[in-house]
Every structure is written in structure tokens, then in C-alpha cells.
């Protein structure tokens, strides 16, 4: 652990707040869609809420990210996870096939991260265009950076979670599109090794670019080209 100056501590606290809020939004997405599809379990467990306390995992949302940030002097991203939303696909209404409904629930988490990022970026755009936030001000610059970081993190989280390997959401989404024969093959040869695939994407830089590269391209396209925020 390096020298924790007030600036570094402020950076760590900012990143932790952004991560916990992003996790809450993600898990809320799962719970909300499951609830709308007729599954009462997420509501019974108090998960159909944006309250971060309902979704935070003591290890995945707090301890591990904080440890990572502290020992990197705030330089790490501080990835984490929330408490998984429990769903009962058999309780979904019959508007969709059960596998399709489960896919919608899984995709809702990453989708909510994208929506959250868009909302934050639009708020930032309005505040800067109306000169409520001015980049030349040191205090404003820190808030601008925090909001840009929140947009970037949520886009990265969305792409990361769509890696097609369980326990990530992409592992559930892809199963909705596989034919029965391929689904059996996936369940036998891919699903059991999902955690190893996940770790490979995290630890091997070349594989990590598989989700980081498109995420950052989308971030830059949206923020710089569309909104004109440098």
C-alpha cells in the first residue's frame, strides 16, 4: 500500500461510490424485469429497488474493490459484483418462452448500466452547456471527471457482463439463441468452465480487449463525437 494522500483517498471514495451505484442499477434491472414478467420472488426479497443496500455484497461490492483500490493507490478500476438476484423462470408469464424470458432478465442488467451511463452523460452535457459546471474550475473538474468515469465504467460493465460465459449475463443471453443441440453442447463443454473463461478475460490483456476495446470505442464516440464532451 502506497502513500494515501487526501487526493488518492478522494479518488478511491469516488470510485467506490460510482461502483456501488452501478452495481445497484445493474441488479435492479434484473429484479425489475423479472418482476414485470410475473416472478414475485425479487419483490419478496426486496430487490425491486434502487437502494444500493439491497444489492451490495459485502465482499464483491465493498471489501474486494476497496482492497484493490487501496493497494493500487486508486489506479485500479475496482471491479466488483452485487448479490445475485434470484429468479424463478417457471413463474414467468406465458408472453414469452421461459428461455426467452430468462434472457430478458439477464440482459436487463447490462442494459441498465448503459441507460445509467447515458443519463449521467446527458446530465453532464446539460450542466456544462449551461456553464453550471466549468472545466477551468478545479472543484468542477473533479466532478466532471467523476461523471465521465461513471459513464465509462458503466459502458465497460455492460460489455464485460455480456461475455457469453456463465456466471455472467452473456452466458444466459446466448443460450436463448442456441438451437437445442448446440444448447446441450454449451451446457456440457462451456458452462462448467465459465468461471475459468471469466478469469481468462480478466487476467489476459489480449482477451480483455475483447470487451474493453468496443466499450471504449462506444464511450469515445458517444462522449466526444455526439455530445462534444472532451
In a domain, 96, yes or no: yes
pLDDT category at 5 given cuts 50, 70, 90 is confident
In a domain, 89, yes or no: yes
Cα(90)–Cα(177) distance, rounded to whole angstroms?
Answer: 19
Residue 81's alpha-carbon distances to 12, 23, 85, 209, in angstroms, are 17, 6, 11, 20
In a domain, 136, yes or no: yes
pLDDT per residue over 66-113, tens digit each? 999 998 888 887 778 999 999 999 999 888 889 999 999 999 999 999
In a domain, 167, yes or no: yes
In a domain, 1, yes or no: no
Does residue 212 carry a pLDDT above 90?
yes
In a domain, 219, yes or no: yes
In a domain, 201, yes or no: yes
pLDDT per residue over 37-79, tens digit each? 999 999 999 999 999 999 999 999 999 999 999 988 888 877 7
- Burial pattern 199-230, b for ≥16 Cβ within 10 A else e, equals eebeeeeeeeeebbeebeebbeebbeeebebe
Output the pTM of the full model.
Answer: 0.94
Residue numbers of the domain that contains 62: 6-226
pLDDT per residue over 130-159, tens digit each? 999 998 888 899 999 999 999 999 999 999
C-alpha cell at 220: 469515445
Cα(27)–Cα(50) distance, rounded to whole angstroms?
Answer: 9
Number of domains composing the chain: 1
Mean of pLDDT values over 201-221:
93
Amino acid at each position: 500500500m502506497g502513500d494515501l494522500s487526501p487526493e488518492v483517498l478522494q479518488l478511491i471514495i469516488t470510485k467506490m461510490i460510482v461502483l456501488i451505484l452501478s452495481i445497484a442499477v445493474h441488479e435492479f434491472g434484473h429484479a425489475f424485469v423479472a418482476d414485470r414478467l410475473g416472478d414475485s420472488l425479487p419483490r419478496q426479497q426486496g430487490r425491486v429497488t434502487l437502494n444500493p443496500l439491497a444489492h451490495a455484497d459485502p465482499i464483491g461490492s465493498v471489501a474486494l474493490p476497496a482492497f484493490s483500490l487501496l493497494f493500487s493507490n486508486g489506479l485500479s478500476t475496482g471491479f466488483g459484483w452485487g448479490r445475485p438476484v434470484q429468479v424463478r423462470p417457471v413463474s414467468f408469464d406465458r408472453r414469452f418462452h421461459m428461455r426467452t424470458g430468462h434472457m430478458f432478465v439477464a440482459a436487463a442488467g447490462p442494459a441498465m448500466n448503459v441507460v445509467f451511463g447515458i443519463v449521467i452523460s446527458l446530465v453532464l452535457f446539460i450542466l456544462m452547456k449551461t456553464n453550471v459546471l466549468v472545466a477551468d474550475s478545479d472543484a468542477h473538474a473533479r466532478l466532471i471527471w467523476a461523471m465521465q468515469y461513471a459513464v465509462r465504467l458503466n459502458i465497460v460493465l455492460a460489455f464485460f457482463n455480456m461475455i457469453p460465459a456463465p456466471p455472467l449475463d452473456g452466458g444466459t443471453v446466448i443460450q436463448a439463441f442456441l438451437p437445442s443441440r448446440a444448447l446441450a453442447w454449451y451446457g456440457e463443454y462451456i458452462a462448467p468452465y465459465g468461471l475459468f473463461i471469466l478469469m481468462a478475460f480478466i487476467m489476459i490483456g489480449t482477451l480483455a480487449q475483447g470487451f474493453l476495446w468496443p466499450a471504449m470505442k462506444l464511450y469515445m464516440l458517444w462522449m466526444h463525437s455526439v455530445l462534444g464532451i472532451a
